[in-house]
Amino acid sequence: MPTLTILGSGEAFDSILPNTSLLYQDSQNILIDCGFAAVQSLWRWSREAEFLDAVLLTHHHADHTFGLPALLMVMQDGKRQKPLVIIGPPNTKQYVTALFDLAYAPGLPRVKFPIEFIECTPGASTTFGEVTIKTALPDHGIAVLSTRWEAGGVSHFAYSGDGKATPATRALFNGAPTLVHECYALPGQEGPVHTHVEDVLQIAAESNVSTLILVHQAMSQRAAIAEYVRAQKIFEGRVLMPEGAMTVTL
């Protein structure tokens, strides 16, 4: 059975929880986002150099990408040989190359195992092995891949990435059994490029989701969001707010 592990659920500047990062395991092991405080969570899960088949970057912000150079160096030190696929929005190859150049001179030439890139425009779909990844564009000010993961025509889960919900992301999430969604704050306090808890609960209810997993809460809002969820009558399914590594069967 496929599983999804929430390795971290913190926001960009969370001093307690690691950056939001997910691990999808089925016929392939795929890390979803790799921020500067997320890679240690993966190392605690596995430091096997050949463990991951791919990394998907939802967007090019530091809390979703800056752990990638360290991850690649650990794989290199572990004598990895098989290719690693990096999936992301347009210009991901250029972005990762520049990031690695800044992190460890002389840059990507230090990495001896093959790295392959798949770039996906938000709204398009891509396939990796047996997994089809459908995407949509949330409102975050830059290109972000909200994703829906399917295998054999069966929907496994959907993940918002960062960003305010849009009609396109709402359509993408419809019918997914498990939804992982950023939930930055209480209504009115989410700012221009994040989603508030009431909206997330409504999306889950409208999408016939069974399990809703809330991630990327503002540190100062976490307790208030949890209280809001306990009192709400919008969504009748299961709501999870992980603060440590947590695995769900899909």
Domain count, the chain: 1
Is residue 83 classed exposed, middle or buried when 0-12, 13-18 and 19+ CB atoms within 10 A define those classes? exposed
Q: Which residues contact 227 (CB under 8 A, 6 or more apart)?
A: none
Q: What is the pLDDT of residue 39?
A: 87
For the chain, 250 residues long, give each residue's pLDDT as a single digit of tens: 899 999 999 999 999 999 999 999 999 999 999 999 888 999 989 989 999 999 999 999 999 999 999 999 999 999 999 999 999 999 999 999 999 999 999 999 999 999 999 999 999 999 999 999 999 999 999 999 999 999 999 999 999 999 999 999 999 999 999 999 999 999 999 999 999 999 999 999 999 999 999 999 999 999 999 999 999 999 999 999 999 899 999 9
pLDDT of residue 218: 97
Q: What is the pLDDT of residue 47?
A: 87
In the chain, the amino acid numbered 236 is E
Show the domain range for 107: 3-248
Enter the pTM of the model: 0.97
Residue pair 15/220 in contact (Cβ under 8 Å)? The answer is no
- As a whole number of angstroms, the distance between CA 102 and CA 87 comes to 20
Please list, in sequence order, all residues whose beta carbon lies within 8 angstroms of the beta carbon of residue 99, skipping any fewer than 6 positions away: 65, 66, 68, 69
CA angle 109, 41, 239 (to 5 degrees): 130
pLDDT of residue 179: 98
pLDDT of 132 reads 98
Q: Cα–Cα distance between 216 and 191 in angstroms, integer? A: 14
CATH code, 84: 3.60.15.10
